[in-house]
Amino acid sequence: MTSENTTVLESANSQSIDERVRALMNEMTLAEKIGQTNQINAAHGEIPDWLRGSLAHGNIGSLLNEVDVDTVNELQRIAVQESRLGIPLLIGRDVIHGFKTVFPIPIGQAATWNPELVEASARIAAEEAAATGVNWTFAPMIDVTRDPRWGRIAESLGEDPFLASALGIAMVAGFQGDDLSALGSIAACAKHFAGYGASESGRDYNTTSIPEIELRNVYLPPFNAVANAGVASFMTSFSDLNGVPSTGNKFLLKTILRDEWGFTGFVVSDWDSIRQLSDHGYTEDDRHAGLAAASAGVDMDMASTIFAEHLAPLVEDGELSIAMIDTMVANILRVKFQLGLFENAFTEANAYAKPLNAEHLAAAKRSALQSVVLLKNDSRVLPLSQFATKTLAVIGPMADEPYEQLGTWVFDGVPEYSRTPLESIRSLLGERGHVNYVRAMETTRSKSDEGFAQAVEAAQESDAVIFFGGEESILSGEAHSRANIDLPGKQAELIKALRDSGKPIILVVMAGRPLTLTNIIDDVDAILFAWHPGTMGGLAIADLLFGVESPSGKLPVTFPRVVGQVPIYYAHKNTGRPASQDTFVHMDDIDANAAQTSLGMTSFHLDAGFTPLFEFGYGLSYAEFVYRSLNLSRDEFAIGESVTATVTVQNVGDVDADEVVQLYIRDLVANVTRPVRQLKGFRRLHLQAGESQEVEFQIASTDLAFYGVDMQSVIEPGEFHVWIGGASSAELWARFRLVP
Ligand code: BGC
């Protein structure tokens, strides 16, 4: 079939859906239309009479949080068979990083820098969820965030718009597949639109102030990318953006989403966020809030029931037009048709592979393996192969926590299936080695040192120590922000006590955010940062510790030295007075009575400098990679053309391993200042020991576009620098000119 034919066919199909929507809407009363905009939380267990009645009257368009397949089928049966027009239901659920099989938390999946793996994981999550009747997930969360204090950084894909776009698209592809009506496809939802990741001081739900230029260049690109990729729905953010809460924000929901991007799916509010418009001080009461949300472009009300109660009176009083209601309802119905729900709203669980099957678990292990970032490995203490036949002390509150290793948003995860590090290390070593396990702390937050003596004794009797610490899952996620992001409780004290044993100390961190590790970094020989790695996390960590596989995760977010550096991110601006090692002076080195202008006068903190503890894109390997011969196919090209950058990457280590090759650019001069570096390409490679590979990236002039001072996307001629390497600090570089 030619592509022209495909387009004709596609438009015929979408036309027929539009026609079906129109035909159905011709039959609908105002009450039935408003019913479609109403999403309510499902009661668990028995379906109460009021709910049966509401469904039969067509007063509900969607339910969330029901995952018992028989109950879901019964809810659909009432909607389809007992309501006048038989409109099926959207069944929503937070399927965020897996369903029953739990994959690493999204920030961990982002550390894989592997879109194929992220897509495959989302597909498995979609299939397991679809088997229960869920047909809509509230994912992907693609809020760019540069604040590790914010608990929801765990759910995010990190600090960079390019990486978050690539992985967001991969998640949508996994959830939705090519065909929303296919077995195992569920509708995705891009959230939280928009700017939520900039919540002031990282405190959840807090105000955001984002200049439009920053919004367009940093926060919106992932949303634009998934809108272009066909995501079925958008969710508004709880937060207020430059004084207008997102749920009432016409500029976001109409001007940008509909007029500029041409989005044709539907928009759902966040949980009760329509009612919260009044708490924000943006509306007076529920009626006013309903009017503001509907007028701004919210199509469906999650959980507040304000649309159900107030839209009809608003229409009757002439404050909302029926045309507006029709648009909202059509947006929702279109997705129901695309999902094939009018053909079959029922779920046959047996049509699906069993959840938690071997293939799903193997995928979860692969994802966990690639998500773990090796931050430090002094004297190559890892892998621990040389200790495999010896005695190892396994210490700490996260070594054997089947639930905590799953991370936030695991409503449906099954901790009984979790493979913990402790049991995985034991089974990997078998009879060869011996494990001395001491939990030592009740939780990561414990302030008691009661268990320390026993832990230190175990360390002294062992050849090496592996400490499993970090944060339990409750310390990150929604509404779980922290102002101090050191290892909580007395973990630092315990690590220092273990250090005194003189044995090699390996720190394995499981956490929902970057942590400030400055206070313990010199007390440990190696650090594996495992995020919350999900069901198979322990097996993956054991394989990495003992060198069955080499670590290959790379940081999707900057790790600050101290929290006072936040926001600190790689794509910062140069400033008029950029800092350098030559100009930096630490406050401890300032002479008494130093003259005010004696300190270099550049942009740094006197106590923390200007660099992070670990930069974006960073991650070590058991192999070693050398980059050389960065070549550009030409050093000048015109707008509308592209240039090819090639580089040779060699594994000069002695083990086979993956490397994530990253390409960054800098636009030297523009009508608005541009970041010192911006990620524009990446590729995960597998290189055997000794192997070299030439890697090629195309840079098109369109990749150099940005929003300029007049808020239009522009491509400006001028000089650009390109770096390729294994982190955002890559040194190998070249330059080109873009000409008109
Ligand atoms: C969260 C959303 C989530 C929704 C439904 C809200 O509290 O902000 O991300 O999808 O609840 O559970």
Tell me, in angstroms, the distance from the centre of ligand 1 to residue 271's CA.
6
Å from CA of 270 to ligand 1 middle:
6
Strand, coil or helix: 32: helix
- Residue range 56-109, pLDDT digits in tens: 999 999 999 999 999 999 999 999 999 999 999 999 999 999 999 999 999 999
Q: Are 391 and 432 in contact (CB under 8 A)?
A: no
Residue type, position 544, single letter:
L
CB contact at 8 A, 499 and 456: no
pLDDT at 9: 44
Q: Which position among 94, 240, 270, 543 bears the catalytic label?
A: 270
Q: Which atom of ligand 1 is nearest to the CA of 92?
A: 5
Name residue 627's beta-bridge partners. 649
Residue nearest to atom 6 of ligand 1 (CA): 271
Please give the biggest Cα pair distance in the chain.
84
| Residues 6+ away with beta carbon under 8 Å from 452 | 440, 490, 493, 494, 497
270 is catalytic: yes
| pLDDT at residue 4 tops 50 | no
The finding on whether 138 has its CB within 6 A of some atom of ligand 1 is: yes
Name which of 3-17, 136-150, 510-524, 694-708 the model is least confident about.
3-17
Q: Which atom of ligand 1 is nearest to the CA of 139?
A: 10
**What whole-number distance in Å separates Cα of residue 318 and Cα of residue 194?**
30
3-state secondary structure of 466: strand
Q: Which of 267, 269, 270, 411 to mutate to test the pocket of ligand 1 (most atoms within 8 A of CB)?
A: 270
Cα torsion at 139, 247, 241, 65 (round to 10°)?
-30
Average pLDDT over residues 481-503: 98
Residues 618, 554 contacting (CB under 8 angstroms): yes
- Give the containing element (helix H, strand E) for 115: helix 115-130
Residue nearest to atom 10 of ligand 1 (CA): 138
Please state whether beta strands 136-137 and 373-377 pair in parallel, antiparallel, or not at all (unpaired): unpaired
Instruction: For residue range 427-474, list pLDDT tens digits in order.
Output: 999 999 999 999 999 999 999 999 999 999 999 999 999 999 999 999
- For the cut 80, the answer to whether the pLDDT of residue 186 exceeds it is yes
In angstroms, the CA 489 to CA 240 distance is 33
If DSSP codes are grouped into helix, strand and coil, which group holds residue 632?
A: strand
Which tokens belong to 422? 């402790």
Identify whether the C-beta of residue 83 lies closer than 8 Å to the C-beta of residue 58: yes
Q: Residue of the nearest CA to atom 11 in ligand 1?
A: 271
Distance from Cα 140 to the centre of ligand 1, integer Å: 12
> Hey, whose CA ends up nearest to atom 2 of ligand 1?
270
Ligand 1 atom at shortest distance from the alpha carbon of 303: 5
Q: How far is the CA of 500 from the centre of ligand 1 (A)?
A: 45
Q: What percent of the chain has pLDDT over 70?
A: 98
Query: What is the C-alpha to C-alpha distance for residues 175 and 99, in angstroms, rounded to an integer?
Result: 12
pLDDT(49) > 50:
yes
Residue 478 Cβ inside 6 Å of ligand 1? The answer reads yes
Neighbours of 251 (CB within 10 A): 16
17 alpha carbon to ligand 1 midpoint, in Å? 29
> What pLDDT does 6 receive?
42
Q: Is 160 in the pocket of ligand 1 (CB under 6 A)?
A: no
